Amino acid sequence: MWGGRFSRGPAAIMEEINASIDVDRRLWREDIEGSKAHAAMLAAAGVIGAEDARAIHDGLETIAGEIERGAFTFSKTLEDIHMNIEARLKTLIGEPAGRLHTARSRNDQVATDFRLWARRACDDIEAALRDLMTALAEKALAHAGDVMPGFTHLQTAQPITFGHHLMAYVEMFARDAGRIADARARMNECPLGAAALAGTSFPIDREMTAAALGFDRPCANSLDAVSARDFALELLAAASIAATHLSRLAEEIVLWTSPHFGFVKLSDAFSTGSSIMPQKRNPDAAELVRAKTGRITASLNNLLVVMKGLPLAYSKDMQEDKAATFEGVDALALAIAAMAGMARDLTPQPDAMAEAAGRGFSTATDIADWLVRVLNTPFRDAHHVTGAIVALADRKGVTLDALSLEEMRTVEPRLTEDIFTVLSPAASAASRTSHGGAAPDNVRAQATRWLDALTQQP
């Protein structure tokens, strides 16, 4: 490739650090797709002959078949996927192969390949997130009325339902899917034709190649086209936020499956054992999802650091962009799939959740609300009265609904038997009928709405 300017080949260590084929070989589909579009455009513009364009197209088809069959030999000496394919094309069709690189550079070529790959990655991640949301919404619908404790500071707060808890994650993952969709929309501009950095003097049709490759438009500035990697950064940023949500749910599954909680069970399909303790059932899938977040966030940090000090336009540093992006996206895809599997696999334990919901004076706020609603007590006063009732129950070592009316009246004489209608966790959860609240009917409506929406999406 460098024969006209260089008189000898690179040192062995230079070849080792310079080659990227072990990483970018996975761009072969995108590289062939982009080259087909470029050759067709060159022929349409009269830059190369139609016969040469047909030979290039057919040769690229042959190469695609070889790679799919595992019959293609990748060479580190040829550095990257672009030169590996071009060299094989020359072997197959001879001189016409040399015309393919007219009016383009590896700079716009790799930028195009990478955007095509990232765009497909966005589509795959969106589909995976929708599948996870479906799994969670189905489970939520089935367990909309199963009462469990809601927590703040990991301390018992107020009764909710298991379905309500799961629907919170449906909302989170929906926003993650939205961020991925936004990233896809912004990256959908075509760098091809920007050449090395300044465009080309050939009469190319960038609108044609952009349309052929499914882009909305060509990139407007040739410098930006070859040097921008914010599309990969944005993808990794969205992936990192999604991974954080996955990690939070994974952490809860780890807690819920422990005997101290006992809220859910995972089958053998998503559990492992211990080499020394025969009784163990470890939620390793959840733990590994939790750990993948570190890899995904590290990939974002990796690429941010690579890009932070680069002047325009292309620098060889940018060869490191793909390894970070590939690793981050691969880790996210695996984590989403594992979480969807666990969501479908886990079996809630309603009795354990209900028993826990009754501990920790979880219906205390319901007493305060009753005082406000029925006795017209100012909330701050009601809060104080309720705190005194809780303290009384705590001294006696009983739950709130185990106190007698006479005992509670020693704190607030105006209490009536009606107070007992709000003291059970189930009644507390059922009363939360405000928009977005934990009432089972709310949960069923939200789960049904999401399942209908997810079914209608492509």
CA distance 55 to 34: 16
Which member of 153, 201, 260, 435 is catalytic? 153
Is residue 192 within 8 Å of 38, Cβ to Cβ?
A: yes
CA distance 441 to 107: 56
CA distance 32 to 159: 57
Is residue 326 within 8 Å of 318, Cβ to Cβ?
A: no
CA distance 93 to 59: 6
Which member of 258, 267, 274, 315 is catalytic? 274
Q: What's the distance, Cα to Cα, between the start and end of the chain in Å?
A: 45
CA distance 164 to 145: 9
Is residue 190 within 8 Å of 115, Cβ to Cβ?
A: yes
Give the number of other CB atoms < 10 A from CB of residue 17. 12
Among left, alpha and beta (phi > 0; psi -120 to 50; other), residue 291 is alpha
- Sign of the Cα pseudo-torsion (237, 243, 249, 255, in order): negative
The verdict on whether 424 is a catalytic residue reads no
The verdict on whether 274 is a catalytic residue reads yes
Residues belonging to the active site: 153, 274
